[in-house]
Structure 1
């Protein structure tokens, strides 16, 4: 079967798994809650149970083995001891089951379980297996729930798909009392066969789905994920991403600065940006963002009208709003005059607008909101806190929010109500608000972030819409390159020079062999050559501004002797003598590294010895267009230093972009051979004079 046919077959079988017509549970008494949950959620097809030692389980007669099933079920839920899983999976595959959900644990999530997981995959053949170590799968919209735990009660009107490595994340969001309309809840477990990309691709074909949330603990195949992301983008379905398991890449990286400046979390963020995913930090931020996306029309700009009944939340809320990019412009003179007709003399029209003294008069409140929302706005936000049950009479709050919703509807504005505390807003109130077109958001910071994230979603959608498919899709890279070799600086620069990147003229010398420097223009720099020398300046392995041949030779000999004392573990026999660049305007760091599961990450930053101190960087994934590279360079905080800030000479930015492009193509063209490389610094010369790569480190696979 070719790759396209295999993918189509897998996706077709996944769709059958998510909405099966029959099911089998294989395991013991621990499965009783899962079987009960399946029936309680309204599964309509026949349910079978396989157990060789029981006559019945959860009130369902058991069959002793898979061969005794009266029909071939479409989905199997496996909860047997690890040692029995491979055999069960093989039998299910042999009889043609569409797919299996493997709840059993003890595989790659545990030390020594990797081989068992490989055996499971081999036994499955073409049958997709979700898991192992998987909490389960729920399609609430079609009443197909196969989960070991309780992940919430949802009706058939859901429009959100939740996809997660872990079960707790799904349980928290699915069981929350926050009016999140969940349609799918899919636990991936170890992703031995089925990844987030596979599930995303399938749920995007469901016309009921309006937003997707993925919790990643690992990213297994960015090529497949980018293909699914392209599908989401072209369908206009937003994806909210949250990444757990952040690592310190510098602990296992090479000699370069790049890994510490662009750790795995930074690279994941670059991936999400490329794919048009909105990245959030917490599960509650994800939850509120999803509500904003599915309950409100698309928010297309940041001009925000912010109304509240509290001076406190006018201050605190506006700080949070502005920190998250919401634009709180004051009302126009005309709108202010109209607003103040209905306000007492001591309250003035502003944004945020405090209407506490008028909140108990419905008509007056509506008139205020009509005036307040009459300007050139993109979204309306009402911030208050409903009283707890048994507290104040909520009539005033109900009147206020209803009038706000009406004024926003009349203006055609997306509108949200933010309850400052996550609790204390009842389901009946939330449902009333949703019916009126007002999105009930819970928690001041999460709520305002949700509004901002909805705007960010629209902005990313517009960016992705302007890009070609090739600027979104990523190639497939193999993982775990073995036996990489580190090149010394001279060898690394030779590789760069071969692809047209400018490097200084130089010669390689030994302390005990006389060599002529007549082809070099002074001053020069002397550097010790060794692939094991990462930060040369700290070890005294660099000497700058040497004006004569004699000075250069003395530096070579002195450095050779000193390194025997300061770095006796490093054998240094060769030294690089090269011309210095005397007219630099600024310095850049440009690094590329291979990241397992994602691909090649390009990091651009302000370079030199202060690179890690400044941490002024931008990271994008390759391949990238020239425009994307130029945009990343311009995004640096200190870019103005290269662009003529305060009368400085302008640097040759076009040449810098050319060099970064050539460097990127070098990494791409080396394919599986490329592991990591960094140029630090690239000296940017004055406009029209080019750039020079004056230091480089590189690792290539054997």
Structure 2
């Protein structure tokens, strides 16, 4: 990985012994939260007109501070913030939160200039923001935060890192039993980015996992370095990436660009770095909880236990499309359960043990213990309690006691799952978790968390840095013709059909005398020739070629005739440049149905041959590649060679590449041939 500037130490900022505060009402809110948290360090409010703030005596100016503060909350306007940050840096402060907005997040040009000045003023002093609430440290009870929050003191827990302070506040109000150690906000990431904050949390031995709500990655190299360090420390990173449903992409010429949207590339990047991705706030919290209590799952085998066939069915259905597997009980366990439950109960996974043993704590314990001894990677007990304001929960004590006793007797990894988040309370959650039983709140979120914990255990991240082209909006683009595109790719090893070009019908018929019929004829100068009717196939004679040439010539910028490729499954192989600078390799079903089928997989370059092979196997098209209904299988080694040739070209021209589309690449039984190709490059 390319060397990075060493990260600034955030130790003084995140665990300060002294705090200075600048501003009026927002600074007052911070003092209220610090005192509520029991912060034992020095609190120094600075205000030129007030004698005290929230009962704490004020200093008239920054120059009156008794020493350089470890941390500062700067809650003044944006112009004044630059001056205060500069003065704090000059006196050797440990770091600061810049609360003000109106910087680069606005469309106003002055905002971007002001943010640059802010970073320059900070120098080597770390700053969070601007446009940032700050941070919460529930391990040391430091709350440099100008609003209410829901954190309580913890001895260990997860760190939540993000940019949206409002989302962070909401997450602190969770009632799911998740111990949150840190909430760290980056705001605009003007200087200190999400990866820097995550790295600081990872290095605290009391942090068990990191959850990141990512709007923009910031420095991709810093993110890669953070993920590498997380793997070294054996601490999982969970990411909820915003922007999955971004508005329509900018107009593109290739099918690949329409398939490899920003969210697809982001997901590929996260897989590459070894981070586990989730898609909702509920799954985010539940995944962090499951990882906090035991780390990633060692395998996909899960057993579900409930006293309802309906719950068993919902569990089975809810796991469709996930990594969760419901293997049958081992024979010994099956017989043991049949002996305990009797012949009426069907012993299957998910297990509905009916209500015959409900209230018999001894038999329930025996049943649950037998299940947990079955060797599953996770045992899940579905348990919903009645609401205590209208009903009695006394009748459910048998289930609670039996689950705890079974867990104690077996030591197996165990979870309780409430089908609705409100169907189990914090008190009971705390009791379960004190005895090593994770409580998952909500069937949908709980199953998503189990799926994520399984995926976290399977991740095989790459230590090779991602290939980065120039980030940002491209400059002037040039589009190569099909002939030139194929020739460029062929120089890197891609096999293409024998072909000739000519400007007019007579010329193409004459040139085609060197080719083997049947031929395909294409009109040059069009991006999507099939949709435009600019392709004629299976031309068996010169006369057929001449007729097709006269039909296509008026709408063309020249004609291309090539030998027909051997039939086989049609693939798309393409490379696009993400706005972050990442180069993404997309594989999918090709031909005219590419966007209709949307059967694709995306990798971040560079990619190994095994990664490419695994991506191909994820496609629904893989069935055709292996031979289907008597058809011969494709030459997979030749197909992999072809894809690697495309990737090699992309890496060679990475600084200029915008889009590359080979569609279709025909995977025949005796080789892979690129029938069509299109390349867009940024002009030098």
Normalising by structure 2, what TM-score? 0.93
Rounded to whole Å, the distance in 2 between the matches of 1:368 and 1:67 is 71
SS in 1 for 2:409: helix
Rounded to whole Å, the distance in 2 between the matches of 1:327 and 1:511 is 61
How far apart are residue 348 of structure 1 and its match?
4.1
Q: Which residue of 1 aligns with 2:612?
A: 629
1:11 to 8, 11, 18: 8
How far apart are residue 297 of structure 1 and its match?
6.0
The 1:306–1:685 alpha-carbon spacing in structure 2 relative to 1, beyond 3 Å, is closer
Q: Which residue of 2 aligns with 1:267?
A: 265
How far apart are residue 598 of structure 1 and its match?
5.5
2:652 to 640, 654, 669: 669
The 1:319–1:650 alpha-carbon spacing in structure 2 relative to 1, beyond 3 Å, is closer
How far apart are residue 255 of structure 1 and its match?
0.2
CA offsets, 1:20-50, max 9 Å, x none? Answer: 2222212222321122112221222222223
How far apart are residue 575 of structure 1 and its match?
1.4
CA offsets, 1:268-287, max 9 Å, x none? Answer: 11112222222111111111
How far apart are residue 182 of structure 1 and its match?
0.6
Q: Which residue of 2 aligns with 1:118?
A: 116
- Is the aligned partner of 1:697 residue 2:674? no
- Is the aligned partner of 1:685 residue 2:668? yes
Rounded to whole Å, the distance in 1 between the matches of 2:366 and 2:395 is 16
CA offsets, 1:478-499, max 9 Å, x none? Answer: 3123223222222222321222
Residues 502 and 559 of structure 2 are in contact (CA less than 8 Å); yes or no, is this contact kept in structure 1? yes
Rounded to whole Å, the distance in 1 between the matches of 2:376 and 2:435 is 19
The 1:476–1:482 alpha-carbon spacing in structure 2 relative to 1, beyond 3 Å, is same
Rounded to whole Å, the distance in 2 between the matches of 1:311 and 1:685 is 49
Q: Which residue of 2 aligns with 1:70?
A: 66
Q: Which residue of 2 aligns with 1:211?
A: 209
SS in 2 for 1:578: strand
Residues 389 and 424 of structure 1 are in contact (CA less than 8 Å); yes or no, is this contact kept in structure 2? no
1:167 to 160, 165, 168: 165
The 1:53–1:478 alpha-carbon spacing in structure 2 relative to 1, beyond 3 Å, is farther
1:618 to 601, 621, 625: 601
The 1:333–1:555 alpha-carbon spacing in structure 2 relative to 1, beyond 3 Å, is closer
Residues 660 and 677 of structure 2 are in contact (CA less than 8 Å); yes or no, is this contact kept in structure 1? no
The 1:121–1:494 alpha-carbon spacing in structure 2 relative to 1, beyond 3 Å, is farther
The 1:397–1:295 alpha-carbon spacing in structure 2 relative to 1, beyond 3 Å, is farther
How far apart are residue 622 of structure 1 and its match?
0.7
How far apart are residue 477 of structure 1 and its match?
4.2
Say which is worse superposed, 140-149 or 505-514, in terms of deviation.
505-514
1:493 to 476, 486, 489: 486
Q: Which residue of 2 aligns with 1:569?
A: none
How far apart are residue 430 of structure 1 and its match?
1.4
CA offsets, 1:63-110, max 9 Å, x none? Answer: 343333221112221222123232232222233323221111112222
- Is the aligned partner of 1:105 residue 2:104? no
Q: Which runs of 5+ in 1 are unaligned?
A: 564-571
How far apart are residue 331 of structure 1 and its match?
3.3
How far apart are residue 162 of structure 1 and its match?
0.2
How far apart are residue 591 of structure 1 and its match?
0.8
Q: Which residue of 2 aligns with 1:317?
A: 315
* RMSD value, Cα: 2.4
CA offsets, 1:102-124, max 9 Å, x none? Answer: 11111222211333323322332
How far apart are residue 346 of structure 1 and its match?
4.0
Q: Which residue of 2 aligns with 1:484?
A: 477
- Is the aligned partner of 1:135 residue 2:127? no
Q: Which residue of 2 aligns with 1:304?
A: 302
Counting only pairs closer than 5 Å after superposition, residues 384-463 of structure 1 correspond to structure 2 as 384-460=383-459, 463=460
Residues 8 and 124 of structure 2 are in contact (CA less than 8 Å); yes or no, is this contact kept in structure 1? no
The 1:263–1:90 alpha-carbon spacing in structure 2 relative to 1, beyond 3 Å, is same
How far apart are residue 374 of structure 1 and its match?
3.2
Rounded to whole Å, the distance in 1 between the matches of 2:99 and 2:221 is 27
Residues 248 and 260 of structure 1 are in contact (CA less than 8 Å); yes or no, is this contact kept in structure 2? no
Residues 674 and 701 of structure 1 are in contact (CA less than 8 Å); yes or no, is this contact kept in structure 2? no
Rounded to whole Å, the distance in 2 between the matches of 1:693 and 1:455 is 40
- Is the aligned partner of 1:579 residue 2:562? yes
2:572 to 572, 589, 603: 589
How far apart are residue 592 of structure 1 and its match?
0.6
The 1:265–1:298 alpha-carbon spacing in structure 2 relative to 1, beyond 3 Å, is closer
Rounded to whole Å, the distance in 1 between the matches of 2:505 and 2:642 is 36
Residues 672 and 701 of structure 1 are in contact (CA less than 8 Å); yes or no, is this contact kept in structure 2? no
Say which is worse superposed, 119-128 or 624-633, in terms of deviation.
119-128
1:29 to 25, 31, 46: 25
2:536 to 509, 531, 543: 543
The 1:90–1:475 alpha-carbon spacing in structure 2 relative to 1, beyond 3 Å, is farther
Rounded to whole Å, the distance in 2 between the matches of 1:95 and 1:492 is 59
Counting only pairs closer than 5 Å after superposition, residues 649-668 of structure 1 correspond to structure 2 as 649-668=632-651
Q: Which residue of 1 aligns with 2:370?
A: 371
2:80 to 75, 78, 84: 84
CA offsets, 1:479-530, max 9 Å, x none? Answer: 1232232222222223212222222333332239846413333333332322
The 1:504–1:40 alpha-carbon spacing in structure 2 relative to 1, beyond 3 Å, is same
Counting only pairs closer than 5 Å after superposition, residues 139-218 of structure 1 correspond to structure 2 as 139-218=137-216
Rounded to whole Å, the distance in 2 between the matches of 1:588 and 1:344 is 54
How far apart are residue 161 of structure 1 and its match?
0.5
Residues 652 and 691 of structure 1 are in contact (CA less than 8 Å); yes or no, is this contact kept in structure 2? no
How far apart are residue 693 of structure 1 and its match?
4.4
Say which is worse superposed, 206-215 or 337-346, in terms of deviation.
337-346
Say which is worse superposed, 643-652 or 611-620, in terms of deviation.
643-652
1:503 to 475, 487, 496: 496
Q: Which residue of 2 aligns with 1:361?
A: 360
CA offsets, 1:368-422, max 9 Å, x none? Answer: 2223333232211111211222444433423312222322333231101112221
Residues 271 and 621 of structure 1 are in contact (CA less than 8 Å); yes or no, is this contact kept in structure 2? yes
Residues 323 and 454 of structure 2 are in contact (CA less than 8 Å); yes or no, is this contact kept in structure 1? no
Say which is worse superposed, 600-609 or 38-47, in terms of deviation.
38-47
Say which is worse superposed, 153-162 or 308-317, in terms of deviation.
308-317
Rounded to whole Å, the distance in 2 between the matches of 1:523 and 1:356 is 72
The 1:334–1:251 alpha-carbon spacing in structure 2 relative to 1, beyond 3 Å, is closer
The 1:158–1:376 alpha-carbon spacing in structure 2 relative to 1, beyond 3 Å, is closer
Rounded to whole Å, the distance in 2 between the matches of 1:426 and 1:692 is 60
How far apart are residue 181 of structure 1 and its match?
0.6
Residues 322 and 328 of structure 1 are in contact (CA less than 8 Å); yes or no, is this contact kept in structure 2? no
CA offsets, 1:618-645, max 9 Å, x none? Answer: 1011111111111111221111212222
SS in 1 for 2:558: strand
How far apart are residue 245 of structure 1 and its match?
1.7
Rounded to whole Å, the distance in 2 between the matches of 1:15 and 1:555 is 73
Residues 304 and 382 of structure 2 are in contact (CA less than 8 Å); yes or no, is this contact kept in structure 1? yes
Residues 196 and 222 of structure 2 are in contact (CA less than 8 Å); yes or no, is this contact kept in structure 1? yes
Q: Which residue of 1 aligns with 2:51?
A: 55
- Is the aligned partner of 1:252 residue 2:250? yes
Rounded to whole Å, the distance in 2 between the matches of 1:16 and 1:138 is 14
SS in 1 for 2:125: coil
Q: Which residue of 2 aligns with 1:567?
A: none
Rounded to whole Å, the distance in 2 between the matches of 1:195 and 1:35 is 26
Residues 416 and 440 of structure 2 are in contact (CA less than 8 Å); yes or no, is this contact kept in structure 1? yes
Rounded to whole Å, the distance in 2 between the matches of 1:380 and 1:200 is 31
